[in-house]
Amino acid sequence: MFNKKRDINDWYIEHSHSIFNYIYMLTHDYQKAEDLTHETYIKAYKSYEMFQHNSSPKTWLYRIAHNVTVDYFRKSKPLVFFKNLFLASDPTPLPQDIVEMKEEVNEIYMILQRLKSSYREVIILRKIKEFSTKETSEILGWSESKVKSTLSRALVEFEERLIKEGYEYEQKVEFFRSKSGSLE
């Protein structure tokens, strides 16, 4: 029915880039993100029999990636967490436009970096990676109500920090709307 090697290989082909990006956003270290992505798939392979297929393989893999990354942070406590990962949506932007977009995204990530880790994680998973509330709760090991309330508090704090830094809230938060259609 299930084939461990084939499934893990298929999941690697399908999700490894996305998982790498998630880990990279948290670690801000390309080499470490590659290592932790590989470690995620090694752990998935070793614990394949524990996967009960109650959630999607993607959600299960993100849960493993989350745990692997948290373990890494516990051991090393790195200083920098985020970097600009997103390219312009216009396929042929002018160089000046690219610089402005990168600066704006960088500003958002610098503010996001200053949030406590639970706020940062829930914003990344729900608004940047576009996981559902249910999937986010499975990845983080939280209840759905905790995901909703934490996201709500995180977005309020994020908005307050944007305003405190002197940014126009509506202008900067458009980044998240473009990723998911709304803030809620």
* 113 and 172 fall within a common domain: yes
**Does residue 124 or residue 61 have the better pLDDT?**
61
User: pLDDT band at residue 45, thresholds of 50, 70 and 90?
Assistant: very high
pTM score, two decimals? 0.58
**In this structure, is residue 87 part of a structural domain?**
no
83 φ, ψ (degrees, to nearest 5) = -150, 160
How are the residues of the chain apportioned to helix, strand and coil, as percentages rounded to the nearest 5? 75, 0, 25
Do 100 and 28 fall within a single domain?
A: no
The per-residue pLDDT for range 27-41, each reduced to its tens digit, is 778 888 999 999 999
Residue 83 lies in a domain: no
Same domain as 100, residue 56: no
Alpha-carbon distance 45 to 57, whole Å?
12
Cα(35)–Cα(108) distance, integer angstroms: 26
Domain count, the chain: 2
Residues 69, 100: one domain? no
Range of the domain at 121: 95-180
> What's the whole-number mean pLDDT along residues 153-181?
65
Band of residue 153 on the pLDDT scale cut at 50, 70, 90 = very high
**Domain containing residue 22: CATH number:** 1.10.1740.10
